[in-house]
Structure 1
Amino acid sequence: MEGAMALNREVIVEVTNLSKKFGKTTVINDVSFNLKKGEIKGLLGPNGSGKTTILKMLVGLLKPTKGSILIEGINVQTDFEKAISKVGAIIENPEMYEYLTGYDNLWQYLRMAPNASEHRVDEVIELLGMQSYVHDKVETYSLGMLQRLGLAQALIHQPSILLLDEPTNGLDPAGIQDLRKHIKKLSNEGVSIIISSHLLAEIEMICDSVLIINNGQIVSDSELDDVRSVEESTYFFKLLNIEKLETLLSKHHLYQQVEKIVPNGFMIQAAEFEIAIVNKFLVENGFDVVGIEQVRTTLEDAFLARVRGDQ
């Protein structure tokens, strides 16, 4: 898998003991994580958890109260221009010259990008499928069109690191699918990407790893599969005979973990060893167990479990 391979590559971004205070209020508290070459890392957290604040510190829009940020070994605070030269970003809503066309906006950004090829504007337009509207004035753009133009701007100088804050805002399902394809292509080419999003299903489809933030602190920083693997999972017991099932189950010490009883069985949240105990109990009491299936844990399930546990 490309994602698994990416996690064995060199560290491109190293964040150490990062904190941010506004007055006496601590917004980010002692956050540390790495981003590796070609890795796509999802940045998740409830509204107000500090996701955008972290991204703003990564690109120098906010100064950390404490801690360090190294980009390709260069300190953002002590050598900002060199550190940030290979970073592309969309933080909050993309800012454009509305009285200019999208094409002219991209040329403005190209002029600020040292060593960028004059063909780069046409390349990103084609990459993102913007040909039909790129020569219209930005003031006429929908939110989705503006979001795509912002991504084009972020890619204009061929960055090795891409920071995307809610990049799917305003995109229709086809646009989201196209964006997912572009992001995976960039990752395969070695670009390291952080995506902040509230769309957990999208993060699940695209990311190699997930960083979960709550109340300004890291709740979890793991590969995607590790985030989904919680100690307790939901299992479905399929039975042939369920008469008096609930009465019997209510006598078992694990009854409080039963989530739902359905016409052909029941669902229970339990650890693996407990499933064997429940199965033995059912068989000993005359029930015919014809199947036990682990219900796949989604990223949403894992996210809610981690955040609630943190609280």
Structure 2
Amino acid sequence: MYTESIVLNVQEVSKSIGKTPIIHNVSFDLKRGEILGLLGPNGSGKTTILKMLVGLLKPSAGTIKVEGKDIQLSFEKAIRHIGAIIENPELYDYLSGYDNLVHFLQMSESINYERIEEVTKLLRMEDYLQSKVRTYSLGMKQRLGLAQAMLHHPSILLLDEPTNGLDPEGMMELRQLLVKLAKEQGVAVIISSHQLAEIELICDSIVVIQDGSIIEKSNLREEGDSESNVGSYTFKILNIKTVTSIIEGFALPNLVLNEEGFQVDLTEMGVSELNKRLIKHEIDVVGIKRTENTLEDRFLKTLKGRSK
């Protein structure tokens, strides 16, 4: 079992190229075992942020701490905790997948050959591990890159568009693997992706970037009791003509009437109380359904609101 502590702290980080600001005062934390989605349109600054997290770019201002170590002041101590795939994996096409991993292994004293077997088995790469990388599909290269990033037992994985080239089965396997690493081994993961459906399935939280600034930070797995967990609910009514005058007198939040009933924002307890009031007024409620907004809906709404 792992301790849910902060493994990555990004504090007021900015980046300028020449006199042009690229990233503006970005701050967020990443907890052990958390999977965070880094979202934003193309050119929003996602990859620039990832490059600063691994020391490929130096922030113009702010601090980045990995397991408490400042990445600028103690680079080697900080970077040993990070495994990353930024843009395309760096691989040797003329070598086999296995030899690529051996080459990486030889650069670190903390990795043994058993770790290669462990990681490749976990990623189900045995069938093509001895083949030359030049024969690999993009999805196979992505998986080899992930194996390379995982070899040294990092506490943080940074993945830039990790599902590129993967078929639906491959995406599902990757999703299951990352969740297992996070929940069972406490590995923290940041995924930069435009695959919003995948992000919604895998991530605990999101950070939305636009024009180099954070415009939203949200927890996708918020837990709350019935008193605090507000949702949007659709009530289906039989005698809709009768309910209109009654329901409008209830002063309900975000009430929207339609041909079959109405939609309203309430807590679970609020839904129960409203249902009792409708029955008391002899209103026939034949269905109550929670309306789920997808991450794509939220993402587009956030960007639209920001652009106004």
- State whether TM-score is above 0.5: yes
Q: Is the 8 A contact 2:35 2:202 kept in 1?
A: yes
Give yes or no for the alignment of 1:198 onto 2:189: no
User: How big is the shift at 1:242?
Assistant: 5.1
Q: Is the 8 A contact 2:206 2:220 kept in 1?
A: yes
| Paired AA for residue 272 in structure 1 | L
| Paired AA for residue 300 in structure 1 | E
User: How big is the shift at 1:108?
Assistant: 0.7
| Paired AA for residue 63 in structure 1 | K
Counterpart of 1:272 (choices 228, 248, 266) is: 266
Q: Number of matched residues?
A: 302
| Paired residue secondary structure (2:143) | helix
The residue number in structure 1 matching 2:99 is 104
The residue number in structure 1 matching 2:180 is 185
Q: Is the 8 A contact 2:232 2:266 kept in 1?
A: no
Change beyond 3 A, Cα 1:28–1:266: farther
The residue number in structure 2 matching 1:240 is 238
What stretches of structure 2 of length at least 5 have no aligned partner? none
The residue number in structure 2 matching 1:147 is 142
Counterpart mapping for 1:58-207 below 5 A: 58-187=53-182, 188-207=184-203
User: How big is the shift at 1:220?
Assistant: 2.1
The residue number in structure 2 matching 1:295 is 291
User: How big is the shift at 1:303?
Assistant: 2.2
Q: TM-score, normalising length from structure 2? A: 0.83
Counterpart of 2:37 (choices 33, 36, 42) is: 42
Q: Is the 8 A contact 2:233 2:265 kept in 1?
A: no
| Paired AA for residue 122 in structure 2 | L
In structure 2, how many angstroms separate the alpha carbons of the residues matched to 1:87 and 1:55? 11
User: How big is the shift at 1:245?
Assistant: 9.9
In structure 2, how many angstroms separate the alpha carbons of the residues matched to 1:213 and 1:293? 32
**Identical pairs, percent:** 53
| Paired residue secondary structure (2:113) | coil
Change beyond 3 A, Cα 1:232–1:309: farther
* RMSD (Å) for aligned C-alpha atoms: 3.5
| Paired AA for residue 134 in structure 1 | L
Per-residue CA distance 1:222-277 (angstroms, 9 max, x = gap):
321349xx99964323122457999xx9xxx99x9749x56xx1564x5439999x
Q: Is the 8 A contact 1:231 1:271 kept in 2?
A: no
Change beyond 3 A, Cα 1:201–1:267: farther
Q: Is the 8 A contact 2:37 2:192 kept in 1?
A: yes
Q: Is the 8 A contact 1:234 1:267 kept in 2?
A: no
Q: Is the 8 A contact 1:11 1:37 kept in 2?
A: yes
Q: Is the 8 A contact 2:234 2:262 kept in 1?
A: yes
In structure 2, how many angstroms separate the alpha carbons of the residues matched to 1:64 and 1:173? 37
The residue number in structure 2 matching 1:15 is 10
Q: Is the 8 A contact 2:23 2:45 kept in 1?
A: yes
Change beyond 3 A, Cα 1:272–1:185: closer
Change beyond 3 A, Cα 1:132–1:245: same
Q: Is the 8 A contact 1:17 1:30 kept in 2?
A: yes
| Paired AA for residue 94 in structure 1 | P
User: How big is the shift at 1:56?
Assistant: 0.6
Greater shift in the superposed pair: 237-246 or 295-304: 237-246
| Paired residue secondary structure (1:135) | coil
| Paired AA for residue 107 in structure 1 | V
